[in-house]
């Protein structure tokens, strides 16, 4: 009983802290006389401008009796053009129309630049994540291999990648490797991100494998499984489960790090944000929106990982 | 002392030595023969090399010199496929080593499916039959974490048997168990012995050794000191160190 009432109190305090935090943002923006114009951001998210259909030639418009279709008859003997399923009729029955005149308009929406940027960020994150896991798995296995070549090569890779800034790696990939191999910017950016994240994934996988008791491998080998079968069926599934939490953290980092590819002119969410700021003069709104969209991506990812963790917990 | 290979000799270990990387001399010229359908129990103080010896028999430990043949196949011949050989030699561990991410049935079925590539239906009915034999037919869908130690060890025995081995190795199978669960595991092992399984058992269960074993080995400091029938072994110890050891544990 006492516990619940004090919990309630702390939740109240939490709410008060959040409210005062929000209020201080309002105060801060007032102190610099900033006018919030959230509506300016909306067209850059979703473009709701109606799509219009124009006459391809000069002629006469004929609207059907029920008003649901228009036929434009050409003055120069070109085949008739019919328009249906529109939301606004611009011409009247019997109107003369000239080439380029708007006949009808249709409700439509297109993704604005920020949404396009979000899609690019999502795409580059998924591609990099996929390759990071594959490369990381092999590097992680090489790290624990007894073969000196594999062991030292993988260690060198991990040390080099972890010891240099991602931004520098992206430049190297774009300006050096990209030029040598003729990579486009997206490929170069995705490759840099994959190689960078793979080094961390490799370390996570290595520690995951090493955390599985040696008896598991012994039991598998004693049943006649070779090393790779034992890895695939026994060790990796258990290691995978144990490494999910750090792996989720790494994947979230990858999504956030992908914002750095904007420096090689990939129009990802961050670059789109920068471009929209210069078009709208609404930097606060745009950057808050961009931050929120990153949060949606990372939040969805960690939610999916939680679901997976729950499903894998059945054997505990 | 060293006999020629005969069709009846399932395990022939000849003059095996084992050095660890740190220079520890774990096995010193150990020679032993296990015949078909024989139950051999290995006894000795901890650190005597008995577990190491057992683990050399399916090459979980490699040997530094000497030779080991399993059912006539030289384990260290370059043409020998150790994975094939291990299919013939089941092993049960002190720590069970069940696969925690698989149900009981999956634990038993995995190796026959993935290693022997046997037909799934046949494997499943065999697995159910084995789990029935160890008294766990009601727990097939449970995960290892839901079982008691004794139940886990019985699953481990069924898992090893699923590969239809000719030899079973037991590495202190009851040492990690609560006392009241020791009996159920020993009963399963007795049943196996009665079915004619060739078994090598490292254990501290003197009662089991006396009752079930055909021969009992005594190891100390990497040496095999005694290899005799249980009657002589326990009632008339042929070595002073054994007599001393028995007086301490019995």
Output the average pLDDT for chain B: 92
Contact B234, B206 (CB under 8 A): yes
In this complex, do A224 and B95 lie within 8 Å of one another by their Cβ atoms?
Answer: no
Q: What is the band of A1 on the pLDDT scale with cuts at 50, 70, 90?
A: low
Contact A224 B111 (CB under 8 A): yes
The arithmetic mean of pLDDT across residues A234-240, rounded, is 94
The count of residues in chain B is 250
Does position A30 have pLDDT exceeding 90, yes or no?
no
Place B3 in a pLDDT band, splitting at 50, 70 and 90: very low
**pLDDT higher than threshold 60 for residue A226:** yes
Domain with CATH 1.10.3720.10 in chain A: 116-315
H/E run at residue A110:
strand A110-111
What contacts A194, CB < 8 A, 6 or more positions away?
A: A127, A128, A130, A131, A132, A135
d(CA B29, CA B35): 20
Interface test with A, best of B51, B62, B83 (most A CBs within 10 A): B83
- Pick A225's closest partner by Cβ from B97, B114, B144: B114
pLDDT value at B11 more than 90: yes
- At A103, is the pLDDT very low, low, confident or very high (cuts 50, 70, 90)? confident
A311 neighbourhood in chain B, CB within 8 Å: none
Contact yes or no for A233 and B115 at CB 8 A: no
Average pLDDT score, chain A: 90
Mutation target vs A (from B84, B95, B100; most A CBs, 10 A cutoff)? B100
Give A301→chain B minimum CA distance, Å: 24
How much is the pLDDT for B189? 95
Own/partner long-range contacts of A232-235 (Cβ < 8 Å, ≥24 apart): A233/B110, A233/B114, A234/B99, A235/A209
Whole-angstrom CA distances from A178 to A161, A312, B38 are: 17, 40, 69
Percent of chain B with pLDDT over 70: 97
Superfamily of domain A116-315: MetI-like (1.10.3720.10)
Which residues partner with B12 through β-bridges?
B33, B69
Asked if pLDDT for residue B4 goes beyond 50, the answer is: no
For A242, the closest chain B residue by CA position comes to B101
pLDDT attached to residue A2: 62
In degrees, rounded to 5, the angle at the alpha carbon of residue B175 between the alpha carbons of residues A229 and B214 is 90
d(CA A110, CA B159): 60
Q: Do A315 and B102 touch (CB under 8 A)?
A: yes
Do B97 and A215 lie within an 8 Å CB cutoff? yes
Q: How far apart are CA A99 and CA A57, in angstroms?
A: 4
Digit-coded pLDDT (tens) for A185-209: 999 999 999 999 999 999 999 999 9
Please compute, for residue A85, the number of CA atoms within 13 A of its CA located in the half-sphere on the CB side: 1
For position A36, what pLDDT does the model report? 82
Quick one: tokens of A302? 């960690």
Shortest distance between the Cα of B147 and any Cα of chain A, in A, equals 11
pLDDT band (50, 70, 90) for residue A94: confident
In this complex, which of A220, A225, A315 lies closest to B143 when CB atoms are compared? A315
Q: Which residues of A touch B93 (CB under 8 A)?
A: 215, 218-219
Nearest chain A Cα to B116, which residue? A224
Q: Where in chain A is the domain with CATH 2.40.50.100?
A: 48-110
Confidence bin at B57 (pLDDT 50/70/90): very high
Widest distance between CA atoms in chain B: 55
CA A264 to chain centre: 17
Closest-CA residue of chain B to A236: B101
pLDDT in the model for residue B244: 92
In three-state secondary structure terms, A62 is strand
pLDDT for the residue numbered A73: 85
Q: Phi, psi (5° rounding) for residue A102?
A: -80, 125
Distance of CA A158 to the CA centre of its chain: 26
Between chains, do B111 and A218 touch, taking CB under 8 Å as contact? no
The hierarchical CATH code for the domain A48-110 is 2.40.50.100
Closest alpha carbon within chain A to B145: A316
Closest CA to B51 of B186, B194, B204: B204
In chain B, which residues touch A (CB < 8 A)? 58, 60, 83-84, 86-87, 89-91, 93, 95, 97-103, 110-111, 114-116, 143-145, 156, 159-160, 163
Tally C-beta pairs within 8 A across A and B.
71
C-alpha A138 chain-centroid distance: 25
Six token digits for residue A110: 């297109």
* Mean pLDDT in residue range B174-200: 93
Measured between CA atoms, how close is A131 to chain B, in angstroms?
Answer: 26
Copy the structure tokens of residue A37: 């114009």
How far does A178 lie from chain B, in Å, by closest CA?
Answer: 43
Interchain contact, A223 vs B84, CB within 8 Å: no
Predicted pLDDT of residue B5: 46
Report the SS3 class of residue A100.
Answer: coil
Measure in Å the smallest separation between the Cα of B236 and chain A Cα atoms: 36
Q: What's the average model confidence in pLDDT over A261-285?
A: 90
Q: Which of B83, B143, B156 sits opposite A224 (nearest CB)?
A: B83
Contact A265, A271 (CB under 8 A): yes
Tell me if B30 sits within 8 A of B55, measured CB to CB.
Answer: no
Give dist(CA B223, CA A312) in Å, integer: 47
Q: Are strands B198-202 and B39-43 parallel, antiparallel or unpaired?
A: parallel
Cα separation, A283 vs A78, whole angstroms: 51
Distance CA A118, CA A45 (A): 10
Question: Per the CB < 8 Å rule, is B83 touching A314?
Answer: no
Residue A284 CA to residue A277 CA, distance in Å, equals: 9
Backbone dihedral angles phi then psi of residue B200, each to the nearest 5 degrees? -120, 120
Q: What pLDDT, on the 0 to 100 scale, is given for residue B158? A: 96
Q: Which of A65, A172, A150, A51 minimizes the C-alpha distance to A105?
A: A51
pLDDT score at B108: 96
Residue B2 clears pLDDT 60, i.e. is over it? no
Residue to substitute from A212, A219, A231, A316, interface B, most B β-carbons within 10 A? A219
Contacts of B143 in chain A (CB under 8 A): 314-316
Contacts of B98 in chain A (CB under 8 A): 219
Mean pLDDT of B145-160: 95
Q: What is the pTM of this model?
A: 0.81
Q: Which residues of B touch A226 (CB under 8 A)?
A: 83
Query: In the sheet that A88-89 helps form, which strands lie side by side, from edge to edge?
Result: A51-54, A102-106, A88-89
The per-residue pLDDT for range B93-130, each reduced to its tens digit, is: 999 999 999 999 999 999 999 999 999 999 999 999 99
Helices (H), A93-184: 113-143, 148-163, 166-171, 178-181
DSSP string, A229-243: HHIIIIIHHHHHHHH
């Amino acid at each position: 009983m006492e516990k619940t009432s004090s919990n309630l109190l702390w939740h109240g305090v939490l709410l008060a802290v959040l409210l005062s935090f929000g209020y201080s943002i309002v105060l801060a923006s007032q102190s610099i006389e900033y006018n919030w114009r959230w509506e300016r951001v909306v067209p850059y998210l979703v473009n709701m401008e109606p799509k219009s259909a124009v006459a391809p030639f000069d002629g006469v418009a004929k609207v059907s009796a029920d008003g649901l279709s228009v036929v434009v008859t050409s003055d120069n003997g070109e085949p008739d053009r019919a328009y249906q399923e529109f939301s606004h009729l611009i011409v009247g029955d019997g109107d003369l129309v000239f080439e380029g005149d708007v006949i009808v308009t249709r409700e439509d929406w297109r993704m604005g630049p920020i949404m396009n940027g979000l899609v690019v960020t999502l795409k580059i994150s998924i591609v990099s994540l996929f390759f990071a896991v594959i490369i990381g798995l092999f590097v992680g296995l090489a790290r624990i291999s007894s073969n000196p070549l594999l062991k030292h090569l993988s260690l060198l890779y991990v040390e080099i990648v972890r010891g240099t800034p991602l931004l520098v790696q992206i430049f190297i990939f774009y300006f050096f490797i990209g030029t040598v191999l003729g990579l486009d910017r997206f490929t170069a950016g995705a490759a840099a991100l994959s190689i960078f994240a793979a080094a961390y994934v490799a370390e996570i996988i290595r520690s995951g494998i090493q955390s599985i008791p040696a008896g598991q491998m012994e039991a598998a080998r004693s049943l006649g499984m070779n090393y790779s079968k034992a890895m695939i069926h026994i060790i990796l599934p258990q290691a995978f489960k144990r490494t999910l939490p750090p792996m989720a953290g790494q994947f979230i980092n990858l999504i956030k790090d992908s914002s750095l590819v904007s420096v090689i002119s990939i129009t990802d969410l961050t670059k789109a944000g920068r471009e929209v700021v210069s078009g709208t003069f609404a930097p606060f709104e745009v950057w808050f929106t961009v931050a929120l969209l990153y949060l949606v991506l990372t939040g969805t990812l960690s939610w999916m990982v939680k679901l997976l963790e729950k499903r894998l917990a059945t054997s505990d | 002392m060293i006999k020629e290979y005969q069709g009846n000799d399932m395990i022939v270990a000849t003059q095996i030595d084992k050095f660890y990387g740190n220079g520890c001399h774990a096995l010193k010229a150990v020679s032993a023969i296990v015949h078909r359908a024989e139950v051999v129990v290995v006894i000795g103080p901890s650190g005597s090399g008995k577990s190491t010896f057992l683990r050399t028999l399916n090459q979980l430990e490699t040997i530094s010199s000497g030779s080991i043949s399993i059912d006539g196949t030289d384990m260290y011949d370059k043409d020998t496929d150790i994975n094939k050989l291990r299919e013939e030699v089941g092993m049960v561990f002190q720590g069970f080593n069940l696969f925690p991410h698989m149900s009981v049935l999956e634990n038993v079925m995995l190796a026959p499916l993935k290693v022997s590539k046997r037909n799934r239906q046949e494997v499943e009915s065999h697995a159910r039959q084995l789990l029935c034999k160890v008294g766990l037919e009601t727990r097939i869908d449970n995960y290892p974490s839901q079982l008691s130690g004794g139940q886990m060890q019985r699953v481990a025995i069924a898992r090893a048997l699923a590969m239809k081995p000719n030899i079973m190795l037991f590495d202190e199978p009851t040492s990690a168990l609560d006392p009241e669960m020791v009996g159920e595991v020993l009963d399963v092992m007795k049943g196996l012995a009665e079915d004619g399984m060739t078994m090598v058992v490292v254990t501290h269960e003197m009662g089991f050794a006396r009752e079930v074993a055909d021969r009992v080995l005594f190891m100390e400091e990497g040496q095999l000191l005694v290899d005799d029938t249980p009657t002589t072994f326990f009632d008339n110890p042929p070595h002073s160190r054994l007599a001393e050891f028995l007086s301490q544990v019995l």
